[in-house]
Amino acid sequence: MHARAGQPAQPEDLIDVDAVTSAYYELIPDPSIVAQRVVFGTSGHRGSSLDTAFNEAHIVATTAAIVEYRRSQGTDGVLYIGRDTHALSEPAWRTAVEVLVGAGVPTAIDARGSYTPTPAVSHSILLANGAGTSSGVRTSGPGLADGIVVTPSHNPPRDGGFKYNPPTGGPAGSDATGWIASRANELLEGGWRNVPRVPLAEAVEGPLVIQHDYLETYVADLESVVDIEAIRSAGVRIGADPLGGAAVDYWGAIGERYGLDLTVVNPSVDPAWSFMTLDWDGKIRMDCSSPNAMASLRGAMTPDAEGKTPYDIATGNDADSDRHGIVTPDGGLMNPNHYLAVAIEYLFTHRPGWGQDCAVGKTLVSSSLIDRVVASIGRRLVEVPVGFKHFVPGLLDGSVGFGGEESAGASFLRKDGTVWTTDKDGIILALLASEIIAVTGKSPSQLHEEQVERFGASAYARIDAAATKEEKAKLAALSPSDVTATELAGEEITARLVDAPGNGEPIGGLKVTTENAWFAARPSGTEDVYKIYAESFKGEEHLALVQEEAKQVVSAALGV
């Protein structure tokens, strides 16, 4: 933990915005260097221009590869593109639009010339493909829309990010991203300068660029997914902090359109994020699930001399608004796992339009409290690998009512049981907290305490353990038979998983479970470590024992 974690950023903590944007254009990547190639992780390609990992050449090549990929799939409709407030997002957006128009792709940009949350892009793609109509979403045939979101999510200000959303509206699968990255790297090796481009000023005046009102389209449709009338009638006092991100104008528009008692806590946008408090490692990071990054908003909920707080609920979003943070007067910043469990129980008992076969989706590193809640309400649990792309099929056809990740990313269906977004939506998860208060008269943290009384309290944590590249590769390729241990922290092992039970997809690691505990080990994609997620319903001491024995189990499986 950094000595100034949770404290306001100082001038020496801030990036030089001009240096970051200049490097985007001036530094040319060398594709023979692995760190300078295009790599799609679970949420697109990310990197910093200062490291020659996110530069003009990368975006030209990646956009050109996306153009080729969509053509190979027969996707010939409008491409919806949005960007967040990171310093590198606008130059990358400009580059992408120039390449798209140069390739003859009809491109929908924000009519306000402003920022666009990730869920608003997903929402517009799905509407264009038939969401909200009696015929439902089309996934084949002519005229299908897709999209690009220019964002590194909650990453530090020096970073940029670029991801592709196919006609299904959510993050692209590994088949698509693997092809796009491979083709982009081919172009980096010699052809990216020859990619046709139309200068932005000319492009936006031409027939291929569509001025699309993402904000109005999204905000006007919110009543179909959240009970806003209940929030308004109850007079819930909301403090919404966009953390300098793309939702900054959306929250004001939501409050105004629906007559809510809603205050935009901090409407400032600054690509250096000078108003942020430092995260656990001393970096500026817009992680709305981090108590340190959310220190200012938590402080805003301090009671006055009469014991009153300014808001009944306070919420935060990350830079592209696909994550949520929930602060309650009685409990502070909620653990993401705890809020997911509360949201799931509330939604599946207050959405009569969702059929009885509608399932609950969770990543396999999310809390087992969710498993117990889901069992209690008689629903089916769909446990998938890390990556929101695994929820896309179920959300799209309505067979999964809620998909959530332990990292505070989730989305859920409209009230009628049809798709809303197939990408994470931090805005509706934040609004849901107000609906919960309005309908139940209790805060999400109070409802979590009630769940603890029924299902038990768990201790949950993630730690890192050192591993070589060879060990990480072996970990990702383990089979259940490689685990010879029969007990974990004094309990019989009940399952050894290398594939997710919800969809049969490889988890890229290992999960071991017992009656009251589990751990999952996954190799890091960027560091020489593997991540150990673990949980115990027998307390912190037992959790520590699970973590220690997890290292031994993994070491034995790896033969080290």
pLDDT tens digits, one per residue of 123-180: 999 999 999 887 889 988 899 999 999 999 999 999 999 999 999 999 999 999 999 9
CA 115-417-433 angle, 5° bins = 55
pLDDT-based confidence at 42, cuts 50/70/90? confident
pLDDT one-digit tens code per residue, 385-433: 999 999 999 999 999 999 999 999 999 999 999 999 999 999 999 999 9
Q: Give mean pLDDT, residues 466-495.
A: 92
Q: What is the pLDDT of residue 127?
A: 97
79, β-bridge pairs: 107, 146
CA atoms of 550 and 547, how far apart (whole Å)? 5
Name residue, tokens 């250096």.
272
Say how far apart CA 284 and CA 295 lie, in whole Å: 12
Backbone angles phi, psi at 284, to 5 degrees: -85, 120
Decide if 465 contacts 551 (C-beta within 8 A): yes
Q: What are the tens digits of pLDDT across the range 435-463?
A: 999 999 999 999 999 999 999 999 999 88
Q: Is the pLDDT of residue 525 over 80?
A: no
Q: What is the C-alpha separation between 263 and 238, in angstroms, rounded?
A: 6
- Looking at residue 205, what is its pLDDT? 96
Residue whose pair of structure tokens reads 């690509």 in the numeric block: 271
Average pLDDT over residues 296-323: 94
Do 162 and 45 meet the contact criterion of CB atoms below 8 Å apart? yes
332-333 sheet: strands from edge to edge: 261-264, 237-241, 313-317, 324-328, 332-333
Residue of 89, 153, 458, 536 marked active site: 153
Do 459-558 and 16-217 fall under one CATH topology? no
- pLDDT averaged over the chain? 95
- Are the C-beta atoms of residues 200 and 419 closer than 8 Å to each other? no
CATH architecture of 459-558: 2-Layer Sandwich (3.30)
List the beta strands (DSSP E) in 337-442.
Answer: 359-363, 381-384, 400-405, 409-412
Candidates 343, 240, 332; CA nearest to 290 is 332
- Considering only CA atoms, which of 151, 120, 126, 333 is closest in space to residue 247? 120
Q: What is the 3-state secondary structure (H, E, C) of 113-152?
A: CCCCCHHHHHHHHHHHCCCCCCCCCCCCCCCCCEEEEECC
* Catalytic annotation present for 290: no
How are strands ordered across the β-sheet holding 44-48? 40-41, 44-48, 159-165, 146-150, 79-83, 107-110, 209-212
- Helix, coil or strand: residue 433: helix
For 336-388, how does the pLDDT look when each residue is reduced to its tens digit (9 = 90+)? 999 999 999 999 999 999 999 999 999 999 999 999 999 999 999 999 999 99
Element counts in the chain: helices (H) and strands (E): 17, 23
Is pLDDT at 526 greater than 70 in this prediction? no
16-217 carries CATH number 3.40.120.10: yes
| Domain ranges for the chain | 16-217, 459-558
pLDDT, position 499: 95
Nearest CA-CA partner of 193 in 302, 57, 310, 292: 57
